[in-house]
Structure 1
Amino acid sequence: MKNYKLRRLSDQPILKTSDVKPSVDGFEVLGAFNPAACLVGDEVILLLRVAEAPRGKEGFILVPLIEEQNGTPELAIKEFNEPAAPYDPRVVTLNGKVYLTSLSHLRIARSRDGIQFTIDENPFLFPARMDESFGIEDARITFLEGKYWITYTAVSEHGPGVGLAITTDFKTVERIGMILPPPNKDVALFPQRINDKYMLLHRPMVSDIGKPSIWLAESEDGVHWGNHRFLFGGRGLADNPFAWEGAKIGAGPEPILTDEGWLLCYHGADPTHSYSLALALLDKNDPAKVLDRSDAPMLTPELLWEREGFFPNVVFSNGWIQWPDGRIWVYYGAADSGVGVAELVRE
């Protein structure tokens, strides 16, 4: 993959957290980042992950989540005394239970030039099921058989699983439900059947044995998945040249078919939780065969707004587009606080 380069198209974020209005009265937006991306006609559509939380109350932690009320999932806010000891502002354990301190949803941003975006005021997908009770995160969009298939991380007290929704116009959307149970995330669907099978990439979580890695699965109907196979994992240790992907890796946007094979963008994290972007190439007829991988990251957190934010030192992509003239633009979340864009250039 040495003949590919990622070149930033702007040294400033094209979208910032401050550009997004809260969707709930009394909430504030903590982050707008990690967008899925696609072209719909001549319009670029981004599905931003928007993390919101109730405005602070001194001495208390306010946790937004979905709870069943009279058998119906509804937005609720739990109030806890703030711990005296230092704590992670994103994930807290209170009364023996783990909570997220924000609730994420998916919000549409639209553009004609791919740089200047108008952001919808209302969510496109807001948590509405108990398996989404802690939020909807980090979508991917694949145009497949005339529809836009949206995979996303559905988070609940039982962990992160993978949800699926389908739209034809980004005005109405049908929730299909959870297609991979917890713990799993980073699902990217291939944009066509291969050997008459739907195929996807996913990232099972691990416990005491192994590290997070990219897997392949197939399906007859796009909903029920099997024949799960390990595809590739991080090569790095703390003291070797691949440390940048040594802690974890995961698939990015939907693969793009090229003359050489399926081009895959993926992220790697090092032991300090700094995230970078890289490429892999899979065989076009059998994507279980990895033909090539980046030896070094193609994009790392270098600019101030990529290094400082809600979660520092992160460039993370789950959305790219291919323009009609063949240009590929990669949209990436930066420090969980904004969105940048870079062009993938072949030299």
Structure 2
Amino acid sequence: MYIKKILMAIALVGLAVAAYFAYFIYGAMFKQNTAFLNDTAYIQVPTNAKYEQVREQLVPLLKDIKSFDALAERKKYTTNIKAGRFAIKKDMSNNDIINSIRSKNIPFKLSFNNQERIQNLAGRIAQQIEPDSLSVLKIMTDKTFMDKHKFTEATVLNMYVPNSYEVFWNTSAEGFRERMLKEYYRFWNDKRQTKRKALNLTVNEVMTIASIVQKETAKVDERPRVAGVYLNRIKKGMPLQADPTVIFAKKKTENDFDQIIKRVLFKDLEIDSPYNTYKYPGIPPGPITMPDVSAIDAVLNAESHNYYYFVANVKNFGYHKFAKTLSQHNANRQEYVRWINGQGVNR
């Protein structure tokens, strides 16, 4: 009888322990454990990260980090960390969170536009994906790669067509470059190549003219007309004489791309640079910025007209006045000069 009581007591203790263990497991696995108010929180797990690095990001997001630690250990997540960008939904349990961060790497929209130099683009990209700017720049300007695909230091920026692209946060610098190369060839499809050939221009020449158009006008509906002016000048053998190229030449010559130049001065026209289209005829060796798709297509679908000149329209800001003759242009230009002098803009 006494032995039976002992066995029953042991059984009851065992049941209690089992019940507590079951409760603990249930709480650790299935009880909601998020502490944030938004619908979704994100963590970014670096390549080759240790559990401590993941845990550090999770601490402010969870109510009970210790229960998460216990389950992460039990499910062997602590020794099997996956890199990437992961979502944690409000009211998720520890089990849901572990399932999410071990296998559901979420892509995002990486975007970039209108950078003046490959260095600036590398910095912009590094703000959005895991590799740092130096790693991205090194891959972008790798000479073997550029030679293979017929890019130069002056033209390599052309490979990166401004847009939004779906990528993973932990994409490598090389992986990003290869993706952009595919997008570049996809962009320059047969239709665009046919239009380019009809203009008797190379891809680089189209992109360079488009970069000038980009800088000349922010009005997308005006870009085909501005592009038409430059194509008319090229056909006639006239110098492009584009102020944005002079500004770029000044920045590049002085190695100062942070300076803000609102007005081109006569002395600037003497800057000795192949980008100075007042001093050197023809198309510059490369783009002066990354042109938007709208600017590129504006060149490929340029408006057919007889305009050779244009100047800012002070009565319709953002747009320009176009002229067929130099005398008409000079009259338009005098109006602009009077206006800008009145604004006190000296540089």
Fold agreement, TM-score > 0.5: no
Which structure has greater strand proportion? 1
TM-score (normalizing by structure 1):
0.24
TM-score (normalizing by structure 2):
0.24
Between 1 and 2, higher relative CO (CA 8 Å, sep ≥ 6) is seen in 1
Which structure has the greater CA radius of gyration? 2
Which structure has greater helix proportion? 2
